[in-house]
Homo-oligomer: A and B are copies of this chain.
Amino acid sequence: MVNNQTFFNKLFYPKSVAIIGASAKLQKFGSRYLDALLNFGFKGKIYPVNPTTSEILGLKCYKSVKEIPDTVDVAFISVPAHFVPKVVMDCVDKKINFVVVFSSGFSETGLEEGKKLEEELLKIVKGSFTRLIGPNCFGVYCPGGGLTLLPGADFPRESGSVAFISQSGGLAERFCIYARSLGLRFSKVVSYGNALDINESDLLEYLIKDPETRIIAMYIESIKDSKRFMKLIKEATRVKPVIIWKGGLTEVGSKAAKSHTGAIAGKKEIWHAFFRQTGAIKAEGLEDLVDISLIFQLFSKPCGRNVAIVCVGGGMAVASADACEIYGLKVPDFQPETVEKIKMLAQPVGVSLRNPVDLGSPFTPPEAYQEILKIAALDPKIDVLMVLVWHLPLFYGGKTFVDEDFAKKTFEAPIYVKNSIKKPIILILYETPLELEMLNAEKVRREIKNKHIEVGIPVYPNIERAARALTKFIEYHEFLRRNP
């Protein structure tokens, strides 16, 4: 590769794409990808390829890529495995930059036949102009390039700062769907499957220098070249956070990984050392990966471990303090002046106005509530304010004791505080009850979530997840300070 960045840009910002294996049967994967790309509003040229059809979804269909009267930057291949080598050979002849092989049936099957087919593929692309993503992958999504070759016609059109590279296609899709609904936006997402040619290190190398990418998230089952990967990760973590979910850390998980992408997943002890040494951030699953990405997207500056907790209910206060301490945060005493100021505004009895603050009742007048949040956040010992809200169904589910304005001000109080002071705030918005008749409360929860995320307040469904994500955020910045 002459220049990694320029080269890979053709993958993410192609001028022309061929969809090989699109067919008149619109249920077929090839056609669904074609349909998604059309719906997504891809601005470049699209060429369906299928020897048995002349038109698909209103586009002229070619018998082979070789017939396309134009250069092709990216070819997406969804044909049965034993046809793939021939099709890739055509792409090599056509000097197509990238082929994305969706088809499976290669080394991940564990069968000799599949392994041989894969070896054949490697021989075809080796030394050629063409680079291969996959096989057994879901493809590429880059909103900036108007490109979706992941099964995501409804993925966000606008760009963001989070890149995700994933060995698993299904998890790439789930990550996008779940993270999107929390307000995350993406620079590039790549599912790279069996990593026969292009692997995690190639993609990482590109993303380190990619100015669109501020946060790198990864799902990995195995590493092709661990020395190179280690070196690149160390380089990457110095300039942007790298959050890694490692699949197959257990024995049985590792066995499952082998039949997924043919990967040898590696010992967990080695991975523990890897995280300690590189500054990469360890995610414990998909939710954690999204939770951590969210805080990195929304918090612009490093912060300390001292949190103020404001909640309703003594048990909640105890449980929150427990959770914060378990995950390595601190819940320090306020300065005496802070407690005094809060005392002026809170109800007189049944509450604890130290940190954590238990306000006793969810019906504290909103003006007082807003001020209490602000006073707690402004305490000089405090780095981050955590606001816990579980009483939404009381306002929007059962009997409503308050008027619309009271509710609105109460539930938007963190936004008011965010707009008037500069400290970071996290909102913990507990799940509403899961009954059908409580869908209205769920609707309100989503509205509140959106409004907070818009102004830069991360929203989590419980204190454990918030505490875990915040701790990882803090630890990353501590790593940077120790390793300047």
Contact = CB atoms under 8 A, between A and B. Distances in A.
Contacts of A170: 312-316
A317 interface: yes
Interface stretch (A4-12, A195-203, A233-241, A253-261): A253-261
Contacts of A399: 153-154
A306 to B, nearest CB: 11
Given A314-B168, A314-B170, A352-B260, A325 B433 contact: no
Contacts of A250: 321-322, 325-326
A247 B174 contact: no
B182 A434 contact: yes
* Most B-side CB within 10 Å, residue of A255, A260, A450: A260
Contact of A167 (B315, B322, B390, B436): B315
A316 B249 contact: no
B321 A255 contact: yes
Assign chain A's interface to a size class: 35 or more
Interface in A379-426: 390, 393, 397-399, 401
Given A352-B259, A436-B450, A442-B439, A253 B313 contact: no
Contact of A449 (B251, B352, B434): B434
Contacts of A286: 319
A38 interface: no
Interface of A: 27, 32, 80-81, 103-105, 108-109, 136, 153-154, 166-171, 174, 177-178, 180-182, 219, 221, 247-253, 255-257, 259-261, 265, 285-287, 312-326, 330-331, 348-352, 354, 356, 358, 360, 363, 390, 393, 397-399, 401, 430-431, 433-436, 438-439, 442-443, 446-447, 449-450, 462, 464
Nearest first, the 4 A-B pairs at minimum CB distance are A168-B315, A170-B313, A104-B350, A260-B314
